[in-house]
Chains A and B, each alone.
Chain A
Amino acid sequence: MNAQHVSYDCSAFQWAMHAFSNLSKRFFSRGCVRTSLSCAMFMGLFSTAFAANDKTLDGLVVPTFIEQAAASGIDHQYTGSWEFFVGGGGAAFDCNGDRMPDVFLAGGSSRSKLYKNISLAGEPLRFEQVPLNLSEKDSLSVTGAYALHIDGDAHIDLVVLRVGRNLLLRGDGNCGFTKANRQLSFDGGREWTTGFSAIWESGAPFPTLAFGNYIDQTAPGSPWGTCHDNLLVRPNLAANTSSNGPAYNDTTQLTPGYCSLSMLFTDWNNSGEPSLRITNDRQYYRGGEEQLWRVPTQTAPKLYTKRDGWKRLTIWGMGIAEADLNSDGYPEYALSSMGDNMLQQLDTEAEEDQPQYRDVAFDQGTTAHRPYQGDDSKPSTGWHTEFADFNNDARTDLFIAKGNVSAMPDFADIDPDNLLLQHPGGGFVEAGMESRINLPTQGRGALISDFNADGQLDLIVINREASVSVFQNIGVAESWGSKPLGNWLAIELQQTETNPQAIGARVVIKTGNLSQSRTVSVGGGHAAGSNGFLHIGLGVAERATVRVRWPDGDWSHEYRVFANHHAVLKRDADKAIYWYPVERVTN
């Protein structure tokens, strides 16, 4: 056990202890450094006393979620034994061109399912299952999925992560999918895949795919210290790229692999060149750590090391999310783990271009280290993590899916998901209970999207051995019904040449003196991701101006858009086009 890196794990706690008592600090520095687990449990026991954030929900608009899986037509569970303790994701994306997010759900030992969204604008969520043209074998052992345009046609495609061969499914634009591994010269591997991300490298006509792999069960000594390498798969531009699409046979092993559970292409240093952030599960690796790969265009990836300023960090990494919370152009990262969820901010005192981060989770109130309800003070287990503005107050919030791995006695058994609302005065405040997402389920992946196009983000949580939770955001609950949250904006980017959804673009939304930014990305979370309109809360602003840094680095002119609209921004177009969802026809 490396004391140095474990003490880093506890840095936030140590800071708190220092602030409150020397006695506690002594205990912490001697006792708590022994294990991160005891550290997490310590914090769990004393979290109330050491809360860095004294904000309450008084100054916040709390959204209300109504669980309606059954009513919505979704009947699905993520099931299975040890191999499916992790994973449990899916994808929210528009598979039939109506701009309403449809849903693919991983099933583990159960079959995966695809649901078409038939909700009407502003009405209760409704889905209907559509058949997946997959063999039984291919539809089983699925851990997660992400949607993106792969083959260059007009229809969105799907990457399916599995324990075993991963799948590339070509979409036909009408929610039909065809396995295209052979057509795209994609082997798919034999690994236990739990993470994925994709990016269009500069000038590339097709995306580069990264696969995060977990434990190599066939290696001697498995599962301990037997992590698979991760893989970077580039479109082989030398190969025939006919109508069959690109050839994905240019595979680079990202060695060493440390049992990844999530990965995300990210422009951490605002350079325009993506890097690959990987979060790893310390439960199984030996000598491992969190990772950041430099991925220079069309050249070999290179791991950031201590020499580059990378600070060793070991956690039970489960999920990654990014958001530029302080609008400085450099993203913050939420890392979910067991007990010690982290919120990393680029250290302003670090040398330029060095990826040194400090954990501000304690300061910001996002440690979410134990259940916020009940008497169980054991550490909780975080999985999918994602930033989004759930109450449309122009401040980005943080969702963390929670749930015991299976029956781990040292961790909380009843462990509801977190909804951490960002407070106007800074920091985050837990609102899981008040927003009614506090179910005693074992959450894994999650899909955050506006499923009924009412401007209020809804939430689907894929649970282990239980029905998915389909939470409709109804706004602010009142005795007489509900009222809207804040104003909002939904933005779709379009490019005509390659990379039609402008993956890698940064969108800056300005209201008054406030600038918010969103990055169009594929990856992160926990085996799950949503694709489609970017959602931005506008608070009380009635209009906003929007600028786009397209993936090639070009900045757009200023688009002027009105609040509470879906705006489609076509590259080089003079003005935004508005999109309107299908509404119920009233006579």
Chain B
Amino acid sequence: MSTLRNYAAVIVLLTGVATLSTSVANDTLPWAEITPQLGATGQLPSGRLSQRSLDALNETGKALFQAQFTPNDGAGRPNATQAIIPTKSKRPREHAFFRTAGPDASACSSCHNQPVLGGASDFVTNVFVSEGFNQADFDSIDPQFSNERGSNHLMGAGLVELLAREMSRDLATIRASALQAARKTGSDVTQPLISKGVSYGHITASPDGLVDLSGVDGVDDDLTVRPFSQKGVMTSLRQFTVNAMNHHHGMQADERFGLKVTGTDDFDEDGYKNELNAGDVSALVAWQAMLEPPVKNTPSDAAWVEAASRGNQGMQSYGCLECHRSALPLESLDFLDPGPLDVVGTLSSNSVESPAIYDLSLTYWADSLPRNEQGYVLVPLFGDLKRHQMTDRKNDALGNEQLSQRFVDRTRFMTAELWGVGSTAPYGHRNDYVALHDIILAHGGAAKASRDAYAAADEPAQLDVIAFLKTLVIQQ
């Protein structure tokens, strides 16, 4: 018995030492191992932010994006998995970092850095996406456990989210209109789901309020356009931020993992409470939302300019631009945060008294965006914010994932936005195509006809396409 007590005493002593070793966090010292910007935002921003407030928030967000979070910040999640629903791990993590299941980075910028902060990543920083429920501690890159993905760039992400919000609004309006007409006429009403020229199939509303969704294409059944991730499964920058901060850093946001959700303010049991408050998340969202969008560069080489011009036309004629749409019109540059489409677990507009409005027209780059005759901003994303089947019997190279993700089949992916593609090699959802030519030829499924047209073109015509794509760059 006394031996047992002695062991216990030793354990207590060691625990105390361990605690001391991770609690050297006097935040008054300039060299303290903490991130001073955490908590700096204070209360959740609200209302329309002035240029000055926006700049301050932006600065904080940038610092948080670059911060290498430490245990004193609450980094690490010894007893929680990477899952988007708070989930306890089966056993405590042995190491702070875990290359496959995460946490796998100390900072957001560890991956999103090419060619600038907020950019994409090389193959070496691929992430391993798993739901984090069963076999959450997978220690293998075998695709039966996770989908290996490259990190997308975030440039222009605010515009992308605004486009998705407006498209989701349009689709919901179509649904409401179909229901209203069906109830009024007493007959089924079928309506096409089209927003900003992009077709998402059709719905049929019945007089009794039922909606047949079997004709829906490329968007979730709730008709919410989720623009982020290779699969298009994340609704907002805010949701992406909350997910990623837990997955990659073990920094758990209160709005998903806090006391009112999990019954504890230290869900991951790392000894740190309230690791990421709503203001911190807002700062990160604001910075990402205001990132300058990629541009179409005009090369100094006249031959390149001419080739790019031919390549653009070639893409048009091959049908590439049916999905990689050169621009989508955006009505408003007011970015609400929290946004209107998130559900509980990520703060949303209806969860706060007054959401903040980040006026993207205050950014230095806003005036450079073209507008159409209606005054809408033409967002040059070369995408359609829609999912497509990307494989067929002959072309199944992009069908290399074995796991579906959040109801999206494993061979369906969001159209990759090509803006910035000239700055973000390698390519493909696994970042394993070094050459643009190769990733074009890897297309299949819905892109088969375009891919075949490109493949049938002569080499100079193919090179023209490459020339054009190389002009779509991220400003440095």
Could you say which residues of chain A place their CB within 8 Å of the CB of B351?
Answer: 483-484
> Is there contact, CB below 8 Å, between A487 and B211?
no
> Is there contact, CB below 8 Å, between B407 and A560?
yes
> Which of the residues B85, B213, B354 comes within 8 Å of A539, measured between beta carbons?
B85
* Interchain pairs with CB closer than 8 A, number: 108
Main secondary structure of the interface of A (DSSP, over half): loop
> Is there contact, CB below 8 Å, between A59 and B260?
yes
> Is there contact, CB below 8 Å, between B406 and A543?
yes
Which residue of chain B has its CB nearest to the CB of A61? B260
> Is there contact, CB below 8 Å, between B263 and A425?
yes
> Is there contact, CB below 8 Å, between A487 and B345?
yes
> Is there contact, CB below 8 Å, between B260 and A578?
no
B176 within 8 A of A: yes
- B274 → A minimal CB distance (Å): 13
> Is there contact, CB below 8 Å, between B210 and A568?
yes
Contact with B along A37-78 (1 / 0, CB 8 A): 000000000000000000100111100000000000000000
> Is there contact, CB below 8 Å, between A585 and B180?
yes
Interface residues on A, range: 35 or more
Q: What CA separation (Å) do A379 and B84 show in the bound complex?
A: 44
> Which of the residues A542, A543, A575 comes within 8 Å of B213, measured between beta carbons?
A575
A189 within 8 A of B: no
> Is there contact, CB below 8 Å, between A542 and B209?
no
Q: What CA separation (Å) do A99 and B211 show in the bound complex?
A: 14
> Is there contact, CB below 8 Å, between B86 and A540?
yes
> Is there contact, CB below 8 Å, between B209 and A581?
yes
Q: What CA separation (Å) do A479 and B354 show in the bound complex?
A: 12
Interface residues on B, range: 35 or more
Given A485-B344, A540-B261, answer yes or no on A512-B83 (Cβ-Cβ < 8 Å).
yes
Q: What CA separation (Å) do A241 and B147 show in the bound complex?
A: 58
B22 within 8 A of A: no
> Is there contact, CB below 8 Å, between A541 and B212?
no
A562 within 8 A of B: yes
> Is there contact, CB below 8 Å, between B263 and A484?
no
B220 within 8 A of A: yes
Residues of chain A in range 487-521 having any CB-CB distance to chain B below 8 Å: 487, 511-514
> Is there contact, CB below 8 Å, between B211 and A578?
yes
Could you say which residues of chain B place their CB within 8 Å of the CB of A575?
Answer: 213-214, 221
Could you say which residues of chain A place their CB within 8 Å of the CB of B261?
Answer: 393, 424, 539-540
Could you say which residues of chain B place their CB within 8 Å of the CB of A577?
Answer: 210-213
Q: What CA separation (Å) do A233 and B214 show in the bound complex?
A: 43
Which residue of chain A has its CB nearest to the CB of B132? A512
Residues of chain A in range 454-468 having any CB-CB distance to chain B below 8 Å: none
Could you say which residues of chain B place their CB within 8 Å of the CB of A576?
Answer: 221
A563 within 8 A of B: yes
A123 within 8 A of B: no
Given A543-B407, A575-B214, answer yes or no on A484-B222 (Cβ-Cβ < 8 Å).
no
Residues of chain B in range 72-126 having any CB-CB distance to chain A below 8 Å: 83-87
Could you say which residues of chain B place their CB within 8 Å of the CB of A542?
Answer: 84, 343, 345, 406
A98 within 8 A of B: yes
> Is there contact, CB below 8 Å, between A424 and B407?
no
B133 within 8 A of A: yes
Residues of chain B in range 156-183 having any CB-CB distance to chain A below 8 Å: 175-176, 179-180, 183
Residues of chain A in range 439-494 having any CB-CB distance to chain B below 8 Å: 478-481, 483-487
> Is there contact, CB below 8 Å, between B210 and A579?
yes
- A434 → B minimal CB distance (Å): 13
Q: What CA separation (Å) do A425 and B212 show in the bound complex?
A: 40
Which residue of chain B has its CB nearest to the CB of A55? B263
> Is there contact, CB below 8 Å, between B345 and A60?
no
Q: What CA separation (Å) do A576 and B221 show in the bound complex?
A: 9
Which residue of chain B has its CB nearest to the CB of A482? B350
Q: What CA separation (Å) do A513 and B406 show in the bound complex?
A: 14
A565 within 8 A of B: yes
> Which of the residues A60, A514, A582 comes within 8 Å of B260, measured between beta carbons?
A60
Could you say which residues of chain B place their CB within 8 Å of the CB of A564?
Answer: 222, 343
> Which of the residues B209, B224, B256, B353 comes within 8 Å of A582, measured between beta carbons?
B209
> Is there contact, CB below 8 Å, between B407 and A484?
no
Given A60-B263, A61-B260, answer yes or no on A99-B220 (Cβ-Cβ < 8 Å).
no
Q: What CA separation (Å) do A97 and B186 show in the bound complex?
A: 13
A82 within 8 A of B: no
Contact with A along B119-151 (1 / 0, CB 8 A): 000000000000101100000000000000000
Could you say which residues of chain A place their CB within 8 Å of the CB of B84?
Answer: 542
Given A512-B133, A543-B406, A583-B176, answer yes or no on A483-B350 (Cβ-Cβ < 8 Å).
yes
Residues of chain B in range 330-366 having any CB-CB distance to chain A below 8 Å: 343-345, 350-354
Q: What CA separation (Å) do A150 and B213 show in the bound complex?
A: 32
A423 within 8 A of B: yes
Residues of chain A in range 82-104 having any CB-CB distance to chain B below 8 Å: 97-99
B15 within 8 A of A: no
Which residue of chain A has its CB nearest to the CB of B216? A575
Q: What CA separation (Å) do A581 and B212 show in the bound complex?
A: 15
- A98 → B minimal CB distance (Å): 7
Q: What CA separation (Å) do A40 and B221 show in the bound complex?
A: 53
- B30 → A minimal CB distance (Å): 36
- B226 → A minimal CB distance (Å): 10
Q: What CA separation (Å) do A272 and B429 show in the bound complex?
A: 47
Residues of chain A in range 379-395 having any CB-CB distance to chain B below 8 Å: 392-393
Could you say which residues of chain A place their CB within 8 Å of the CB of B256?
Answer: 540
Specify which of A486, A513, A583 lies most central, judged by the most chain B CB atoms within 10 Å of its CB. Answer: A513
> Is there contact, CB below 8 Å, between B208 and A98?
yes
Which residue of chain A has its CB nearest to the CB of B226? A542
Q: What CA separation (Å) do A514 and B353 show in the bound complex?
A: 32
Contact with B along A387-418 (1 / 0, CB 8 A): 00000110000000000000000000000000
Given A513-B134, A578-B221, A579-B211, answer yes or no on A539-B345 (Cβ-Cβ < 8 Å).
yes
Q: What CA separation (Å) do A188 and B120 show in the bound complex?
A: 74
- B115 → A minimal CB distance (Å): 33
B264 within 8 A of A: yes
Could you say which residues of chain B place their CB within 8 Å of the CB of A565?
Answer: 222
Given A483-B351, A484-B351, answer yes or no on A512-B87 (Cβ-Cβ < 8 Å).
yes
B402 within 8 A of A: no
Which residue of chain B has its CB nearest to the CB of A62? B260
- A41 → B minimal CB distance (Å): 33
B262 within 8 A of A: yes
- A415 → B minimal CB distance (Å): 29
Q: What CA separation (Å) do A425 and B267 show in the bound complex?
A: 11
Specify which of B83, B131, B214, B221 lies most central, judged by the most chain A CB atoms within 10 Å of its CB. Answer: B221
Q: What CA separation (Å) do A99 and B208 show in the bound complex?
A: 8
Q: What CA separation (Å) do A335 and B220 show in the bound complex?
A: 43
Residues of chain A in range 118-159 having any CB-CB distance to chain B below 8 Å: none
> Is there contact, CB below 8 Å, between A480 and B86?
no
> Is there contact, CB below 8 Å, between B85 and A59?
no
> Is there contact, CB below 8 Å, between B209 and A486?
no
> Is there contact, CB below 8 Å, between A541 and B345?
yes
Which residue of chain A has its CB nearest to the CB of B183? A582
Q: What CA separation (Å) do A424 and B406 show in the bound complex?
A: 25
> Is there contact, CB below 8 Å, between A481 and B209?
no
Residues of chain B in range 401-418 having any CB-CB distance to chain A below 8 Å: 406-407
> Which of the residues B85, B180, B221, B344 comes within 8 Å of A511, measured between beta carbons?
B85
Could you say which residues of chain B place their CB within 8 Å of the CB of A483?
Answer: 350-352
Q: What CA separation (Å) do A578 and B171 show in the bound complex?
A: 15
> Is there contact, CB below 8 Å, between A424 and B263?
yes
> Is there contact, CB below 8 Å, between A97 and B208?
yes
Query: 13 A–B contact pairs at CB < 8 A?
Result: A59-B260, A393-B261, A424-B262, A480-B353, A485-B344, A487-B343, A487-B345, A512-B83, A513-B133, A540-B344, A560-B221, A560-B407, A564-B343
Which 9 pairs from chain A and chain B are nearest by CB?
A540-B345, A424-B263, A59-B263, A512-B85, A480-B353, A562-B222, A483-B351, A560-B407, A513-B133
